[in-house]
Amino acid sequence: MSDVKIYDTTLRDGTQMEGVSLSLTDKLAITEKLDWLGVDYIEGGFPISNPKDEEYFRRVKDMNLKHARIVAFGMTRRAKNRAEDDSTLSAMVASGAKAVAVVGKSWDFHVTDVLRVSLDENLSMIADSVRFLKEAGLEVIFDAEHFFDGYEADADYALATLAAAVEGGADWIVPCDTNGGGLPARIAEIMQEVTSRFPTPAGIHCHNDGNVAVASSLAAVEAGATMVQGTINGMGERCGNADLTAVLPNLVLKMGRDVLPREDLRKITEVSRFVWEMANFIMPANQPFVGPSAFAHKGGMHGHAVAKDTRTYEHIEPESVGNERHIVISELSGTANVQKKLQQLGLAVDKDLTGKILKQVASLENEGYQFEAADGSFALLVKKLAGTYEKFFEMEGFRVTVTRDREGLPVTEATVKISVGDQKRHTAAEGDGPVNAFDGALRKALEDIYPALKGMHLVDYKVRVVNPRAGTAAKVRVVIESQDRCDRWGTVGVSENIIEASYQALADSIEYKLMKEEAC
């Protein structure tokens, strides 16, 4: 058994993040992934709040979960109601979950000015609710909302709310830094008083408004907390919650806590990216531990040192969290960076070729290219300089037109003429915009010759003005990110014409896919 329990609230607190909307299918898929990772508790939602959450609790019963306990969330009984007559508490029991999290007010200001009940009535609401849920045979986790703000305002009353939960029979008491304004040292100091005063196991629930939710959670564990509540990727309202993708590696690798087996910790990067994908968000490249740039090395001095010993610029092995080292190529790159990249591409390390690559990258970056997020274009560049490049098709011409239909809506059409060996192709396609139409026309021309392209799709498209002072004559840099069943890659194009830049990036993406297909 682990000495610190991990409580995931991605499916409830995480979905309060602006722009996030998970379908029922998404929530069930994430549940399966979290159980695979090995978290102890999965808070599925608020069963009385909406039909989707009600259906979630019905459907999750049929899942063959190996490790996690599903938790239903709710609030204490309403003022002057009996617990047995409260619809929220009844819904929590009826959800079928074996554990419940009941949230109650612990800041006197909230009690008197938000709930507008007496301080004593609030304590009764907490004790009655916990007791009712315990008598229903459930594991009860009491989340003390705004506890740390409440403690600073009236420590005795904040502690009295925890005492009321303990009196009701709570299995866990969890002080919450709901406004996210606490600092780690103060969180730890207060948690030490909580854990020394109450025999009931204590947890911690931090929000990230001060950008220290992870640090505060770790400090709370050092002060005796044996449960950490958080979300995958720190998703949540306002600035989010404590990010479990950072909490877990720190607990296991830095603090030596028995939270997850080390082999399971290797799953954390996959889980992180899965949740970002389900939420339809692009992962921040610099997200600690799991981001694509977490173990990226751009500076020549850094790359040279890492080639000798990775400990020079890496605090852990990327493989320990399921991530990988990434050597970034730019005008700042040194010989070691390029040689490492050549090895990754399966090419012999050659001094003359290395020099050519460094010179060409510096020249192209002066024109506006960047290869940091364009590994596909860089691989093609290396192949060209090494003399091993194979051209899969020749563009003989293209045209993109945008017109308006009778309703005044834009209509985009792309026409391409290409050749593949002796074959000539002339195709057209409409799309939601120029790039979408262009992509459609190219696929029409190529997919029957190269069926592998059917398994590739574009996942991101970015445009950046390179030299804005040139006004409408400025160059633009287009970066396209593509994905297939094996991996993701970026490609880049630069031109004064956004369509031409888009074509360069799109063509590189297709050629890179075809180049690597045999190894996929």
Mean pLDDT, consecutive 10-residue segments, the chain of 520 residues? Answer: 88 94 92 96 90 93 95 94 94 96 97 95 97 98 98 98 98 98 98 98 98 98 98 97 98 95 94 88 88 75 62 84 73 61 70 83 82 83 87 92 87 93 93 89 93 89 76 80 85 92 93 79
Amino acid at 71: V
What are the pLDDT digits (tens) for 300-351? 555 556 666 667 768 899 999 998 876 665 544 556 667 766 776 666 777 7
- pTM value is 0.71
Q: Which residue in this structure is represented by tokens 């005796």?
A: 224
Distance of CA 278 to the CA centre of its chain: 9
C-beta of residue 176 within 8 angstroms of C-beta of residue 142: no
Number of H helices, E strands in the chain: 18, 16
Other C-beta atoms closer than 10 Å to the C-beta of 80 total: 9
Integer CA distances (angstroms), 148 to 118, 144, 179, 415, in order: 20, 9, 9, 63
C-alpha dihedral, 375 to 377 to 380 to 382, nearest 10°: -70
Instruction: Enumerate domains of the chain plus CATH numbers.
Output: 5-279 (3.20.20.70), 296-366 (no CATH), 394-519 (3.30.160.270)
What is the distance between the alpha carbons of residues 344 and 333, in angstroms, rounded to a whole number? Answer: 16
pLDDT (0 to 100) of residue 506: 93
What is the distance between the alpha carbons of residues 226 and 220, in angstroms, rounded to a whole number? Answer: 9
C-beta of residue 412 within 8 angstroms of C-beta of residue 401: yes
What is the distance between the alpha carbons of residues 164 and 127, in angstroms, rounded to a whole number? Answer: 5
What is the distance between the alpha carbons of residues 424 and 445, in angstroms, rounded to a whole number? Answer: 9
Which token pair is 328?
């970034």
Q: Which residues have C-beta within 8 Å of that of residue 113, sequence separation ≥ 6?
A: none
pLDDT (0 to 100) of residue 299: 54
C-beta of residue 12 within 8 angstroms of C-beta of residue 73: yes
What are the pLDDT digits (tens) for 373-402? 788 898 899 888 888 888 899 999 999 999
Other C-beta atoms closer than 10 Å to the C-beta of 204 total: 33
DSSP structural state of residue 77? P
Q: Which residues have C-beta within 8 Å of that of residue 294, sequence separation ≥ 6?
A: 286, 287, 288, 318, 323
